């Protein structure tokens, strides 16, 4: 039987993917306030079956939280094919990590279910990785590494930029973007040399907001993508956008791969319009464009900016903390669609 029972009282019932979060304190905290049941991690088809069995035998559940473990199988998406047995009883879904393009938020909203992500633990680590990739690209680390590997020493043709003087733009001033900006400032990047683009200004963040992408393209020498994948950000870096950018621009992406048109980027690298790129994510993961693999001016990272070793306990604890806060207050700590669920529940005049 794929369901482990934690308690048997009349308290709220919660279903978790994964027997343990890896954080003992969080595991004890949620079990102190809710009847907690678990199903094993697995692929989408396996977990769909586990959920259906759990609901049939022990449901309904007020909340479902997915926890992650390095090296274990995990559902490819969170949509009707996985979640339908949970409704109408489930009022909260929480998944690990910041991105949620694999979660059908509209489906959840239609079913009166609040969705929350868990961006903080993974965000801090991803910001650290973004800083590493940005500095590596600005200093030309990869072409110099390649130069030494073919028997030369320094390649004097490799141009560099200093983070203390270059214009650096961050696309997406969320948790990751803000922490990256603060890290750059901490190592000497002037505040006035960092600008960001969001659809809305992040008031009080301490950095200058650019109200349009065209403003960013004209100004920036280095562009770092930390944004999620949405209908607005797919191919945000397009052929047209690249043509508007400054010559010899550097592009870094730790957001989502499809935010960049990879063929357009390859062509811009070949022409020299883009001096270098550092990429942690790719348009068709786990494959990358073949020309990115052979270009010495591209630094590659296999979606490892967040340094997944040891990442799970903190990220999973956020999943459980969202559920705990939801049970205690009716609102998770990092809701994504709370306003939409509330609006859908309000009778029209």
Distance CA 68, CA 172 (A): 25
Q: Is 285 a catalytic residue?
A: yes
Q: Identify the active-site residue in 11, 208, 303, 340.
A: 303
Q: Helix 119-139 crosses helix 312-329 at what angle (to 10 degrees)?
A: 140
Please list, in sequence order, all residues whose beta carbon lies within 8 angstroms of the beta carbon of residue 187, skipping any fewer than 6 positions away.
163
**Region for 310 from its dihedrals, namely left if φ exceeds 0, alpha if ψ lies in -120 to 50, beta otherwise:** left
Q: Is 303 a catalytic residue?
A: yes
Q: Helix 141-149 crosses helix 119-139 at what angle (to 10 degrees)?
A: 60
**Region for 19 from its dihedrals, namely left if φ exceeds 0, alpha if ψ lies in -120 to 50, beta otherwise:** alpha
Distances from the Cα of 140 to the Cαs of 136, 148, 246, 289, 319, in angstroms?
Answer: 6, 13, 18, 21, 38
Q: Are strands 4-5 and 35-39 parallel, antiparallel or unpaired?
A: antiparallel
Helices and strands (H and E) in the chain: how many: 13, 13
Distance CA 82, CA 134 (A): 38
Please list, in sequence order, all residues whose beta carbon lies within 8 angstroms of the beta carbon of residue 112, skipping any fewer than 6 positions away.
88, 91, 341, 344, 345
Q: Identify the active-site residue in 256, 283, 289, 321.
A: 256
Smallest CA-to-CA distance from 221 within 137, 97, 99, 102 is with 137
Maximum CA extent, the chain? 75
The residues assigned a catalytic role are: 256, 285, 303
């Amino acid at each position: 039987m794929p369901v482990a029972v934690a308690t048997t009282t009349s308290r709220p019932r919660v279903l978790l993917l994964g027997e343990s979060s890896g954080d003992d304190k969080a595991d004890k905290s949620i079990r102190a306030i809710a009847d907690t049941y678990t199903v094993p991690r697995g692929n989408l088809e396996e977990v769909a079956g586990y959920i259906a069995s759990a609901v049939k035998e022990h449901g309904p559940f007020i909340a479902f939280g997915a926890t992650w473990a390095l090296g274990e199988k995990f559902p490819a998406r969170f949509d009707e094919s996985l979640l339908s047995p949970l409704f109408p009883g489930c009022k909260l879904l929480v998944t690990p990590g910041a991105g949620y393009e694999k979660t059908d938020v509209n489906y959840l909203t239609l079913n009166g279910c609040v969705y929350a992500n868990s961006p903080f633990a993974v965000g801090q680590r991803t910001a650290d990785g973004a800083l590493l990739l940005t500095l590596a690209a600005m200093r030309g680390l990869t072409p110099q590494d390649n130069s030494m590997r073919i028997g030369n020493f320094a390649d004097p043709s490799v141009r560099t930029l200093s983070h203390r003087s270059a214009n650096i733009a961050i696309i997406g001033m969320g948790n990751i973007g803000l922490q990256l900006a603060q890290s750059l400032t901490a190592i000497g990047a002037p505040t006035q040399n960092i600008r960001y683009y969001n659809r809305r200004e992040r008031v009080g963040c301490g950095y200058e907001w650019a109200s349009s992408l065209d403003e960013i393209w004209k100004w920036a020498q280095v562009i770092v993508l930390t944004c999620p994948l949405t209908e607005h950000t797919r191919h945000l870096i397009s052929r047209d956008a690249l043509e508007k950018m400054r010559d010899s621009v550097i592009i870094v992406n730790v957001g989502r791969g499809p935010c960049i048109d990879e063929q357009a980027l390859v062509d811009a690298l070949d022409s020299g319009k883009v001096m270098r790129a550092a990429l942690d994510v790719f348009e068709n993961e786990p494959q990358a464009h073949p020309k990115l693999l052979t270009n010495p001016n591209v630094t590659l990272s296999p979606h490892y900016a967040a340094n997944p070793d040891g990442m799970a306990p903190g990220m999973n604890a956020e999943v459980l903390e969202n559920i705990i806060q939801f049970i205690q207050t009716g609102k998770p700590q990092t809701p994504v669609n709370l306003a939409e669920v509330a609006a859908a529940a309000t009778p029209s005049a």
